[in-house]
């Protein structure tokens, strides 16, 4: 008896401690087995209690009557697959006749309580099949990105979603994006993660950081061009527009539409060009966009020039491989003409914590009212948590890992040799002699701990 008690204490105490301090480890060691057993054992009764069963069909009733058996019970959706993951469980359910994916989605909260999971979401995989993703703990509390992620050109695994899956920034599917959020909500950390993700890829990075360059200049070794004030930004954006026009000339020259060329081989953007001719794609990161859009006087030619260049890049840049990543606290019509036109071109939307509904509406008002509500509800202490949506109306709660400036500097320095020298942007290439001390100072300020 004593031995049993000791053994029990030796298992339960570490499990409790892990669950409290390291929920991810707890999940991998004990949680996943317990949760799988709980779900499988309680499945039928929970589904019944959640109203997710269907009464027996006529032929089953008739068969039971003929065979003199008891009336058959209502049936829950069929379990097609149970897949334990690093953060939870994924259930594939085959719906019964008369059920729809909305029934399961509407019961997610009840399922969450009934199976004692942290979160439950569902989505339709195909007609009649629904995937229910359950998380065993709050995966956004301490974000750990999985080691295995999809790798494709211009695809950056930038954050974790609340259902435990990876949130990607896919520049080829969603060329331009807008990130909004109140001050100290995590926009720059999100952007830093993007830079760190893009650094090992064949891409030119261009930065406009009107906060005197505090966020992007330490990463200068991986940037092909940087601007830290609106005057330089205006010139830089004009240079990008000229580059875009140059790239279109390259594509035109390569098109050579003759009857001998198959439709699929006619180049319409840089990705259709043969590799030796393909210009390097450019990601333009703009932090604190309001600084660029604010007019100093009633008619401000510099501001109009900047907005015009940004609108042109947003409208025409994709095929030339120029992608915009714009961050700001607000981005609405109060910033003047052209802003709503520019916003309409920024398909990817991410909103960190915002203080008022109007700011959230600037990100999601024209996409999804639910996402507006979710963005306002992000608690102030959960910095970095954001709502990411796209123009299809779908949205997710995400959080990027907390990449410190020092980690990002290290990654950028490691991949500094990948920084392409673009002739059009040569005047804006950052002075590396000026940035090296900054990097060293950072190293002194934050000595390596891990």
Ligand X SMILES: Nc1ncnc2c1ncn2[C@@H]1O[C@H](COP(=O)(O)OP(=O)(O)OP(=O)(O)O)[C@@H](O)[C@H]1O
302 binds, among ligand X, Mg ion, none (CB under 5 to 8 A by kind): none
Residue 224 as a binder of Mg ion (CB under 5 A): the answer is no
Q: How far is the CB of 189 from Mg ion (least distance, A)?
A: 8
Q: For residue 235, say whether it is annotated as part of any ligand binding site.
A: no
Of the candidate residues 329, 347, 419, 435, the single one contacting ligand X (CB under 6 A): 329
Task: For the beta carbon of residue 255, count every other beta carbon within 10 angstroms.
Answer: 15
Member of 400, 412, 422, 425 binding ligand X (CB under 6 A): 400
Q: Is 186 annotated as a binding residue?
A: yes
3-class SS of residue 399:
strand
Of 328 and 430, CB closest to Mg ion? 328
Cβ neighbours of residue 208 closer than 8 Å, sequence gap 6 or more = 226, 227, 233, 236, 237, 284, 285, 286, 287, 292
Contact between 425 and 227 under an 8 Å Cβ cutoff? The reply is no
User: Which contiguous run of DSSP H or E holds residue 224?
Assistant: strand 223-227
Q: Closest residue to ligand X, Cβ-based?
A: 384
Least Å distance between CB 317 and Mg ion?
Answer: 24
Considering CB distances under 5 to 8 angstroms, the limit depending on partner class, which of Mg ion, ligand X, none binds residue 396?
none
264 is in an annotated binding site: no
Q: What angle, 0 to 180 degrees and rounded to 10, lies between the N-to-C axes of helices 432-445 and 405-414?
A: 130
Q: Is 188 annotated as a binding residue?
A: yes
The span of 36-44, 182-190, 221-229, 232-240 binding ligand X (CB under 6 A) equals 182-190
Residue 384 or 389 having the CB closest to ligand X: 384
CB of 223 to ligand X, least distance (A): 18
Return the residue of 53, 114, 135, 188 that touches ligand X, per CB under 6 A: 188
Q: How far is the CB of 403 from ligand X (least distance, A)?
A: 8
Residue (21 or 126) nearer to ligand X, CB: 21
- Whole-number Å distance between alpha carbons of 405 and 411: 10
- Out of 93, 162, 399, 412, the only residue in the binding site for ligand X (CB under 6 A) is 399
Smaller CB separation from Mg ion, 93 or 189: 189
d(CA 74, CA 50): 13
141 labelled binding-site residue: no
Q: Which of residues 40-69 bind ligand X (CB under 6 A)?
A: none
Count of residues engaged in binding ligand X, rule: CB under 6 A: 14
* Binding site partner of 53, from Mg ion, ligand X, none, Cβ cut-off 5-8 A by kind: none
> 123: phi > 0 → left, psi -120 to 50 → alpha, else beta; which?
beta
348 touches ligand X (CB under 6 A): no
Contact of residue 186 among Mg ion, ligand X, none (CB under 5-8 Å per partner type): ligand X
User: Considering the complex, what minimum distance in angstroms separates the CB of residue 379 from ligand X?
Assistant: 13
Q: Does 184 count as an annotated binding residue?
A: yes
> 397-418 burial, b if ≥16 CB within 10 A, otherwise e?
bbbbbebebbbbbbbbbebeeb
With a CB cutoff of 8 Å and minimum separation 6, the contacts of 394 are 368
* Long-range Cβ contact pairs of 15-20 (< 8 A, separation 24 or more): none
Number of residues lying near Mg ion (CB under 5 A): 1
104 binds ligand X (CB under 6 A): no
3-state DSSP call for residue 13?
A: helix
- Binding ligand X (rule: CB under 6 A), the pick from 100, 109, 138, 184 is 184
- Site residues for ligand X, 366-385, by CB under 6 A, read 383-384
The region that residue 213 occupies, defined by phi over 0 for left and psi between -120 and 50 for alpha, beta otherwise, is left
Give which of 71, 51, 49, 76 is closest to 60, Cα–Cα.
71
Tell me what percent of the chain is helix, strand and coil, each rounded to the nearest 5. 45, 20, 35
Q: Pick the binder of ligand X from 75, 402, 418, 429 (CB under 6 A).
A: 402
Q: How many residues does the chain have?
A: 450
Instruction: Yes or no: say if 409 and 218 are a contact pair by the CB < 8 Å rule.
Output: yes
Hey, which residues between 162 and 201 contact Mg ion (CB under 5 A)?
Answer: 188
Q: Which of 133, 167, 176, 187 binds ligand X (CB under 6 A)?
A: 187
Among 53, 122, 185, 419, binds ligand X (CB under 6 A): 185
Give the DSSP letter string of 144-211. Answer: ---S-----TTEEEEEEETTSPEEEEETTTS--EEEE--TTSSHHHHHHHHHHHHTTSS-EEEEEETT
Per CB under 5 A, residues contacting Mg ion are 188
Which residues make up each annotated binding site?
Answer: 181-188
Which residues make up each annotated binding site for ATP?
Answer: 181-188
Per CB under 6 A, residues contacting ligand X are 181, 183-189, 329, 383-384, 399-400, 402
């Amino acid at each position: 008896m004593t031995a049993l008690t000791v053994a029990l204490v030796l298992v339960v105490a570490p499990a409790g401690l892990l669950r409290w301090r390291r929920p991810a480890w707890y999940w991998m060691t004990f949680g996943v087995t317990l949760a799988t057993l709980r779900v499988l054992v309680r499945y039928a009764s929970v589904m019944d209690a959640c109203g997710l069963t269907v009464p027996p069909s006529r032929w089953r009733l008739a068969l039971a009557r003929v065979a003199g058996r008891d009336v058959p019970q209502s049936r829950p959706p069929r379990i097609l697959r149970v897949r334990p993951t690093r953060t939870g469980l994924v259930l594939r359910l085959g719906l019964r006749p008369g059920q729809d994916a909305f029934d399961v989605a509407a019961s997610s909260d009840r399922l969450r309580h009934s199976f004692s999971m942290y979160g439950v979401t569902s989505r339709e995989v195909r007609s009649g099949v629904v995937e229910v993703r359950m998380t065993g703990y709050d995966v956004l509390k301490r974000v750990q990105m999985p080691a295995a992620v999809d790798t494709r050109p211009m695809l950056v695994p930038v954050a974790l979603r609340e259902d435990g899956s990876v949130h990607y920034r896919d520049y080829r599917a969603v060329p331009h994006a807008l990130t909004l959020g109140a001050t100290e909500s995590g926009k720059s950390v999100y952007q830093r993660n993007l830079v760190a993700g893009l650094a090992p890829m064949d891409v030119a990075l261009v930065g406009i950081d009107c906060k005197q360059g505090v966020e992007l200049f330490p990463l200068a070794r991986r940037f092909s061009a940087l601007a830290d004030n609106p005057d330089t930004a205006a010139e830089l954006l004009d240079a990008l527009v000229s580059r875009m026009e140059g790239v279109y000339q390259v594509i035109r020259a390569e098109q050579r539409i003759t009857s001998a060329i198959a439709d699929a081989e006619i180049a319409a953007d840089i990705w259709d060009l043969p590799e030796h001719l393909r210009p390097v794609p450019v990601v333009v990161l703009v932090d604190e966009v309001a600084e660029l859009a604010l007019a100093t006087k009633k008619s401000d030619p510099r501001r109009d020039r900047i907005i015009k260049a940004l609108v042109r890049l947003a409208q025409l840049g994709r095929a030339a491989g120029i992608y915009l990543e714009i961050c700001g606290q607000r981005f609405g019509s109060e910033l003047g003409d052209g802003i709503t036109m520019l916003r309409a071109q920024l398909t990817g939307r991410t909103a960190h914590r915002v203080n008022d509904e109007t700011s959230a509406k600037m990100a999601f008002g024209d996409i999804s009212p639910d996402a507006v509500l979710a963005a306002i509800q992000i608690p102030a202490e959960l910095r970095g948590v954001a709502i990411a949506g796209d123009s299809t109306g779908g949205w997710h709660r995400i959080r990027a890992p907390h990449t410190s400036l020092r980690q990002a500097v290290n990654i950028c320095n490691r991949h500094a040799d990948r920084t392409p020298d673009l002739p059009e942007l040569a005047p804006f290439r950052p002075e590396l002699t000026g940035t090296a001390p900054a990097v060293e100072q950072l190293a002194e300020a934050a000595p390596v701990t891990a």
